[in-house]
Chains A and B, each alone.
Chain A
Amino acid sequence: MKEAQVFLSAKDICKAFGPTRALVDVNIEIARGEVHGLIGENGSGKSTFSSIAAGAQTKDSGDFYIDGELYSPKNMTDAQNHGVSMIVQEMGTIPTISVASNIFAGRLEEFTKFGIVNFKEINRRANEILQQIGAADIKAETMTYRLNFEDRKIVEIARAMVCDPQLLIVDETTTALAHKGRTILYRLIEKMKEENKCVIFISHDLDELMSVCNVVTVLRDGHIIDTLFGEDITLQSMRRLMVGRDMADNYFRSDYEGSYSDEVVLEADNVTYGIVEKLNLQLHRGEILGLGGLSACGMHELGYILFGIAKTLTGKVVNRITGKEITSPIVATANKMAYISKERDKEGIILNATIRDNITVPSFDLLSGPMGFISTKNEEKLAEEQIKVMSIKCRNSRQRVSELSGGNKQKVVFAKWLARDCDVFILDCPTRGIDIGVKAAMYQLIYELKKQGKGVIMISEELPELIGMSDRIVLMKDGKITKEIARDKSVTEQTVIDYII
């Protein structure tokens, strides 16, 4: 192998957040011409490492070197001036200023003379960059809030390209991107590689990593576990190194018999809300019903309707076990239904509260004794029980949820519903943004619910899990059901994809 020229090297980097050690003596070398994948479960330290390298956070100890010279960025602009640029996971754009101002945010002084900002020049330069990355259809003068979600993400990519970076850090950007954005990003990465620059690429999608990266470093609990080159980068090896053990083959359920009782537990009769129009759906006892489609197909809205969060304009949703019409989350929970939101941090959990306070929220009525008294002891008991059942990785039930990894946060969301005895589960993207170890546990749990005779609706954008888990898949497009597929060994992504695009 030819000796590659090292661009960025990290020596003994350490970082702690309160009592959590995010990085422990991390040594990494990023060579020119490298697309260097960083993988690891949530909370393994990959995002922390890259944000320190990009100047968004400070390190506790250790040193960075660029081309052999000591490098310690003061902030993200300083890092950019040193040739290190990052497309951030979820920083977003400022909606009320123009695209150009977003791209050059933090750099306006460079265009300022005698206190007057030369917007003409900013717009010209911004348009230039947009053109370079292949997004000429976005105009620099546009107010950012007029752009759709996808285009805003592309603006973030453009922002990272401002200073002609030598090292581009892509932190889980692709999760939020659809086809257009991905094409732009992949092309950009390819170009960087050709120009002998380097890329750090962070993603949960192992297939994507395999196709994009030529080096992959695996992190676990803030430690570097191993680095894989070229041919050694395989799904098996990456999974094994991430989780620390061989993943079992029955990642999804192993049977191919779509089985469920005839008894309907939840029924949507002619419901309408948002893009969803006059739709009918039935969920049976002991059934895992997969709802699939593109993000905007209306399946998430349907989840809202089924739990009464969104009010249907026509028809009704009825819980067939109790015969009650579901008109609000209050009625839904009273009728033993549970809902897990796709927006975990925004809707699913109270970030600043403790694990205990999160788990007890839907169960206050069960915990209240005479005079409404809720004993701390009982709360503690309930929380500890669920932490054990779900094997949530934490110090104790009084730890704040914001300190947990994505997977463990999701476990808390599950736990709060499991603490109640529910009959119907509506799960909107239950494995979104969680790592494979926890994912496998979630699939097992969902299957367990089915075996207990619960009705489960699993809304998902990931076709493999829909096919792997559902007794019946209902596919949606433009707010309508396009196809219903029964569980069968022969179902593949190809059979499914035509009905949703």
Chain B
Amino acid sequence: MEERDIQKELENKAKRKELLMNILPFAGLILITVFFIIVTKGRILRVDNLANLVNSMFTITLASCGAVFVYAHGGLDFSIGSTSGLAQFICIFMIMKLGLPVPLGILGAVFIAMAACSIVGLASIKLHIHPFVASLCVKNITAGLLSVLTQKAGGQITLDYSRFKIFNSVWLKGMVLVVMVGLGFYLFERTKLGKIQKAIGGNSRTVEQAGISVRKYKMLAYMVLGFCVGIAAFFQMTRIGTVSSSSGSGLEFDIMIAMVLGGFPMSGGSAAKFRQFVLGGITMTILTNGLTMWGLDVSYVSLVKGLLLIVLVSVSYDRSIMKQVSIISL
């Protein structure tokens, strides 16, 4: 009788821990939101700021929808910032300089981004270069191309805003966001495209021996990432209205922060969940926005963000994954 009680208690404890791990990212988001509502006296919820929030959430969330596939199988891509910049340039060049219709411009951006991400994928899959190194190379290539091309084009190209009003409407962006997040969730959690990514992150040899082409699915993940980065690039371009050599930079780090904040496992695998990435992106956006609204000097924002990140990670990160019996612990 007593024995059964102990067993039950242990099981409940395990359940509580799992629940806590699942809830923490949500709780963090709510906590941060409530905090900023209080300190900004509700200004953060004003309509103009909400629009602002959707705008700044847009890029990171869209990119997250693709990045989740790559990071789940244990890959990564450090080049998406510069790639986004290059895609923005190609898009604005096609529309403004070549006078091509807007849909073609979007296609151009998506094509460039998918090509760049595919190179990272190919290099890591075919040439067995670690994706970190491969994407650093591609980052340099795309960043270099962007700066050469902007120079050749005579510096910045500016967009004719009047033609792009519709793409800056919060409603359209909100809709695109909902569709992409929905689609991403479906593909990642309910089809084999996503399920296989998680399985590869867990043990790629098992997946290989189960008769699944690991290379093909890794490649597909990079292409999905490229697609999402391309779409995000187009909207970023229409919002800022100009492309320079520094366009898009920093996106790769934002992605990593979103991943950590959302509790997404660093090496991918079966614990990876779609909502973790998206949640992380939203949390980060509110954090940045809130700090600015609070009146914190812009130059301090990233300092505070860094500190907060350490605190949040130390609370939510499952350290048991890293704990392995090693000779060092002797």
Contacts and interface: CB of A to CB of B under 8 A. Distances in A.
Instruction: Indicate, yes or no, whether A interacts with B.
Output: yes
Interface string B299-330: 00000000000000000000001000101111
A351 B190 contact: no
Contact of B202 (A92, A353, A365): A353
A111 interface: no
Contact of A341 (B191, B199, B209, B321): B209
B190 A374 contact: yes
Nearest to A309: B209
Contacts of B203: 346-347, 349-351
Contact of A330 (B196, B212, B269): B212
Given A94-B327, A353-B269, A329 B208 contact: yes
Contacts of A348: 206, 209
Size band of the A side of the interface?
A: 35 or more
Interface in B117-131: none
B190 A24 contact: no
Contacts of B198: 353, 357
B210 A333 contact: yes
A362 B211 contact: yes
B270 A353 contact: yes
Contacts of A24: 3
Interface residues of B, number: 37
A76 interface: yes
A329 B210 contact: yes
Interface string A350-380: 1111100110111011011001111110000
A93 B330 CA distance: 12
B269 A332 contact: no
A270 interface: no
Interface string B184-205: 0010001111011011001101
Interface stretch (A14-22, A35-43, A228-236, A286-294): A14-22
A300 interface: no
A429 B210 CA distance: 18
Nearest to B10: A19
A339 interface: yes
B56 to A, nearest CB: 32
Contacts of B192: 364-365, 367-368, 372, 374
B207 interface: yes
B104 interface: no
Interface in A302-356: 307, 309, 329-334, 339, 341, 346-354
Instruction: Tell me the interface secondary structure of chain B in the complex.
Output: helix
Interface in A125-182: none
B7 interface: yes
Interface string B211-234: 111000000000000000000000
A93 B208 CA distance: 28
Interface string A59-85: 000000000000000011100000000
Contact of A75 (B7, B17, B269, B330): B330
B270 A329 contact: no
B195 A374 contact: yes
A21 B7 contact: yes
Nearest to B267: A352
A482 B208 CA distance: 32
| The 5 residue pairs across chains A and B that have the minimum distance between CB atoms | A333-B211, A106-B330, A350-B202, A353-B270, A364-B192
Interface of A: 16, 18-21, 24, 56, 75-77, 91-94, 102, 105-106, 307, 309, 329-334, 339, 341, 346-354, 357-358, 360-362, 364-365, 367-368, 371-376, 395, 416
Given A19-B14, A334-B211, A361-B206, 14 more contacts: A19-B7, A92-B327, A93-B327, A309-B209, A331-B211, A350-B270, A354-B270, A357-B270, A361-B199, A362-B211, A364-B196, A365-B192, A371-B191, A372-B191
Interface of B: 3, 6-7, 10-11, 13-14, 17, 186, 190-193, 195-196, 198-199, 202-203, 205-213, 269-271, 321, 325, 327-330
19 contacts: A18-B10, A19-B11, A21-B6, A102-B327, A329-B209, A330-B211, A331-B211, A341-B209, A352-B270, A352-B271, A353-B198, A353-B202, A357-B202, A362-B210, A365-B192, A368-B192, A372-B192, A375-B190, A416-B210
